């Protein structure tokens, strides 16, 4: 068992050395495509943070004063129920829900976020209108609620928010598509690298088959090689993603307050989840590329 | 040890490699396959280690019909068969020791067994002391001895040799035949395809002659003719 493992790793690293230029090209392509994918996920998350308050078609938010009484809350809820011709549905976001939302919305402004706690954060009623296009009716409704008991403020989605939503879906789809194409290119390059490695060792493989080596014994070093291309590519991409995110977060924190970028950062560990995902995709791309090549070209 | 029953193999309508070939080879026998180029000698050897499959007939090796052997069992069959080629098929970037050890390494033999058995087989083929040499530092005869050592190191039941003296001068060729004869005397069955009249006539072993895929002669202690 030990001798087989030793053989497998020796052959894998010998092949790296013999096939250095193609190996480097395959790893760089895998790294760039995975970095593109990772950045797409991060930018989508940034947009999600920016739009967190308005998720699920919410277009009007009634902020209650900290310490609003249960009667005041019930009054607002009753009024929302009674305005069913304007308000289709609504949800109440209590203190802990509002704190969780602030973690995302104020990620780029830690100074402001630190001032908030469950004792002073406004709770919210998030309302989905029956007709989001009737801005005038919604504005009138908002003004009526502003005068309600215990109400701190009323906000509703501006055109700017809708524009950000449109930008998110426009860029999100295209960046995913681009990353997909790059991943296919990485798979093909890994496939081609393994094919070249097999071709370079065809005499050795012929001898191996004739002395009774099993197909899997012959295949595994090649598959491991492809897997390592993907994993090393993912490691490089993860390093790049981490650096990118750190520099962007630092940059956003030094922006003036209220320029609208505060939410466009990822600080809640989501970047690590994306890195793990990149390792998974990198390994998959490497294994698929190498596996297909090893099965297809080992028939000597 | 080997039995062919009405074996037929063709590559196209015009090219018939073997036609209705049948014979038996007992354990420990030494058999020459002779005949002109294209008579089916190499095809027959390739059938015995399942590199080729016949269209019709049965090929029995060590008591098993290998025609329908599942792909996963072929490596096990080949571990019982050593192969020697006219062009040696040595791995040029490995030295003598590594070339022979390779045959054990790829079937998972432990390192201590390799360290013990490779020097012994190199001694048997007359290459003791040349373990570190690279193939291009050896004569043709020595390279073929490395190839024999590699084929024999796993102690196969059968040794298949396809024109092993084809690239050698008469002197090294005779030395090689003495070596194959010694290996045969250890109980290993040897089947050798050759054009070398002098060797066949000197050795006086069983001769199977093929002509356009048909066995035209099967003679004990035969000569080339």
Q: What is the ipTM of this complex?
A: 0.85
Cβ neighbours of A18 (radius 10 Å): 14
- Mean pLDDT for A125-138 is 76
At residue A59, the pLDDT reads 73
The DSSP result for B57-116, as a single string, is EEEEETTEE-TT--GGGHHHHHTTEEEEETT----TTS-HHHHHHHHHHTTT--HHHHHH
Please tell me the pTM assigned to this model: 0.68
Chains A, B: CB pairs < 8 Å? 55
- Mean pLDDT for A223-230 is 90
Q: Per 3-state DSSP, what percentage of chain A is helix, strand, and coil (rounded to 5)?
A: 70, 10, 20
pLDDT digits 0-9 by tens, A1-43: 677 777 788 888 888 888 888 889 889 988 998 998 899 888 8
pLDDT digits 0-9 by tens, A241-270: 999 988 888 887 777 665 566 667 777 788
At residue A16, the pLDDT reads 82
pLDDT digits 0-9 by tens, A61-75: 889 988 888 999 999
pLDDT digits 0-9 by tens, B44-91: 999 999 999 999 999 999 889 999 899 889 999 999 999 999 899 999
Positions of chain B with pLDDT lower than 70, given as ranges: none
At residue B124, the pLDDT reads 92
Residue in B closest to A214 by C-alpha: B75
Residue in A closest to B85 by C-alpha: A207
At residue A232, the pLDDT reads 95
Confidence band, pLDDT 50/70/90 cuts, at residue A143: confident
The DSSP result for A42-105, as a single string, is HHHHHHHHHTGGGGGG--EEEEEPTT--HHHHHHHHHHHHHTTTTEEEEEEE-HHHHHHHHHHH
At residue B210, the pLDDT reads 93
- Spatial CB neighbours of A121, under 8 Å, sequence gap ≥ 6: A66, A95, A98, A99, A102
Residues in chain B within 8 Å Cβ distance of A209 = 75, 78
Residues in chain B within 8 Å Cβ distance of A5 = none
Residue in B closest to A219 by C-alpha: B106
Q: How far apart are CA B168 and CA A171, in angstroms?
A: 70
Which tokens belong to A123?
Answer: 């709770």
Mean pLDDT score across all residues of chain A: 84
In chain B, % of residues over pLDDT 70: 100
At residue A55, the pLDDT reads 64
At residue A84, the pLDDT reads 83
| Interfacial B residues in 82-121 facing A (CB < 8 Å) | 83, 89, 91, 102-103, 105-111
Residues in chain B within 8 Å Cβ distance of A219 = none
Residues in chain B within 8 Å Cβ distance of A214 = 72, 75
The DSSP result for B187-223, as a single string, is T-EEEEE---HHHHHHH--EEEEEETTEEEEEETT--
At residue A300, the pLDDT reads 44
């Amino acid at each position: 068992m030990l001798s087989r493992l030793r053989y497998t790793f020796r052959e894998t690293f010998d092949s790296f050395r013999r096939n250095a230029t193609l190996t480097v090209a395959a790893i760089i392509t895998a790294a760039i495509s995975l970095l593109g994918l990772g950045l797409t996920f991060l930018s989508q998350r940034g947009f999600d943070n920016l739009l967190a308050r308005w998720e699920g078609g919410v277009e009007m938010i009634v902020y209650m004063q900290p310490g609003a009484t249960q009667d005041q809350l019930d009054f607002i809820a009753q009024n929302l129920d009674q305005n069913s011709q304007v308000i289709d549905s609504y949800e109440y976001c209590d203190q802990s829900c509002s704190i969780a939302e602030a973690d995302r919305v104020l990620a780029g402004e830690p100074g402001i976020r630190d001032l908030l706690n469950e004792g002073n954060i406004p709770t919210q009623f998030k309302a989905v209108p029956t007709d989001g296009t009737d801005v005038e009716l919604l504005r009138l409704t908002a003004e009526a609620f502003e005068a309600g008991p215990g109400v701190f403020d009323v906000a509703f989605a501006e055109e700017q928010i809708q524009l950000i939503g449109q930008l998110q879906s426009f860029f999100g789809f295209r960046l995913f598509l681009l990353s997909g194409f790059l991943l296919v290119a990485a798979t093909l390059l890994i496939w081609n690298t393994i094919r070249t490695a097999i071709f370079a060792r065809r005499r050795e493989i012929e001898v191996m088959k004739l002395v009774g080596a099993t197909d899997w014994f012959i295949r595994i070093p090649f598959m491991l090689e492809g897997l390592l291309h993907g994993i090393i590519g993912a490691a490089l991409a993860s390093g790049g993603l981490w650096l990118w995110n750190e520099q962007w977060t630092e940059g956003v924190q030094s922006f003036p307050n209220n320029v609208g970028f505060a939410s466009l950062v990822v600080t809640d560990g989501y970047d690590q989840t994306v890195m793990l995902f990149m390792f998974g995709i990198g390994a998959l791309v490497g294994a698929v590329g190498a596996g297909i090549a090893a099965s297809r070209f080992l028939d000597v | 040890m080997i039995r062919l029953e009405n074996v037929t193999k063709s590559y196209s309508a015009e090219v018939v490699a073997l036609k209705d070939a049948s014979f038996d080879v007992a354990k420990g026998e030494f058999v020459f396959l002779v005949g002109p180029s294209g008579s089916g000698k190499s095809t027959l050897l390739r059938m015995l280690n399942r590199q080729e499959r016949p269209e019709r007939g049965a090929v029995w090796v060590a008591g098993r019909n290998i025609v329908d052997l599942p792909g996963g069992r072929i490596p096990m069959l080949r571990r019982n068969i050593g192969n020697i080629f006219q062009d040696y098929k040595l791995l040029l970037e490995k030295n003598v020791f590594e070339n022979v050890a390779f045959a054990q390494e790829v079937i998972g033999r432990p390192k201590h067994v390799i360290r013990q058995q490779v020097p012994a087989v190199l001694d048997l083929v007359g290459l003791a002391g040349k373990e570190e040499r690279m193939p291009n530092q050896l004569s043709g005869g020595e390279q073929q001895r490395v190839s024999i050592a590699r084929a024999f190191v796993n102690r196969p039941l059968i040794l298949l040799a396809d024109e092993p003296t084809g690239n050698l001068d008469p002197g090294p060729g005779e030395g090689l035949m003495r070596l194959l004869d010694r290996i045969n005397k250890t109980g290993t069955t040897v089947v050798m395809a050759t054009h070398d009249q002098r060797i066949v006539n000197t050795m006086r072993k069983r001769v199977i002659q093929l002509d356009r895929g048909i066995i035209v002669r099967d003679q004990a202690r035969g000569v080339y003719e």
